[in-house]
Amino acid sequence: MNLTLDIGNTAVKWATFEGRTMLEHGYDLPTDKLTEAEAVLACVSGALPDTVYDIPLITADTSLPIRLDYKTPATLGADRIAAACGAWSLYGGKPCLIVDAGTCITVDFLDAEGVYHGGAIMPGLQMNLQALHTFTAKLPLIDIRGVNKAPVLGRTTEESILAGTLGATMLALGGFVALYKQKAPGLVVTLTGGDADRLTAAGASGWELQPNLTMIGLNEIMINNEK
């Protein structure tokens, strides 16, 4: 059995695999998963990996099923690497644009030959809402966790903030998708991360929703290192 951990800014996500089959997954790691130490191989990605000890961490130096074509691989986040490996596992042979909507939103391009070329980093939804509240005198702080869908036309201050935040994000992501579709015909767009469902509700239609993409990628890396 393989155990994968994704330690983010707001949650610790985990999954167990038998081969490429996901058995269980969740957001808080039960201690009984770690008691199966002899049966479990574990690897970690995420924003705060230094909080975990004696478990292999994913870096650009790890043996990967994809090739990195990135100017500064040492600065490349483990979560971006893992998500790209997950996309390769699911869509190998097709160009893929990976949208990971977490604390930050990352957009990454993986070509049909499995070469990762980089992409973009932008503020996540809650980060945008926090900035509007922090750097103005009167705008309220809205918790994105209570929002399922935002109006296109805001008729209150709160609605206007949500319309601007989600609208700007969706327009930006739609622009990236359009540009990469010109660059790579047959492009698969996959959406993951904590706000993936929220972006889907906001109009991210035609994108492949893969909430466990990072976990799938971590498992694929482990399989690659078992060879």
C-alpha–C-alpha distance, residues 7 and 68, integer Å: 22
Does residue 155 lie within any of the structural domains? no
Q: Which of 16, 21, 15 is nearest to 1 (CA)?
A: 16
Domain, as residue range, for 12:
2-126+162-226
pLDDT digits (tens, 9 = 90+) for 122-179: 999 999 999 999 999 999 999 998 787 777 889 999 999 999 999 999 999 999 999 9
Task: Say yes or no to pLDDT of 67 above 60.
Answer: yes
Give me the active site residues, please. Answer: 79
Number of domains in the chain: 1
Assign residue 99 the CATH number of its domain: 3.30.420.40
Does residue 133 lie within any of the structural domains? no
Q: Which residues pair with 122 in a beta bridge?
A: 105
Contact 121, 104 (CB under 8 A): yes
- What is 74-123 written as a DSSP string? GGS-HHHHHHHHHHHHHHTTS-EEEEEESSEEEEEEE-TTSEEEEEEEEE
Does residue 139 lie within any of the structural domains? no
pLDDT digits (tens, 9 = 90+) for 13-50: 888 888 888 888 887 655 455 444 333 345 555 554 44
* End-to-end Cα distance, the chain: 16
> Taking the model in full, what pTM does it have?
0.85
Q: Which of 68, 78, 74, 77 is nearest to 110 (CA)?
A: 68
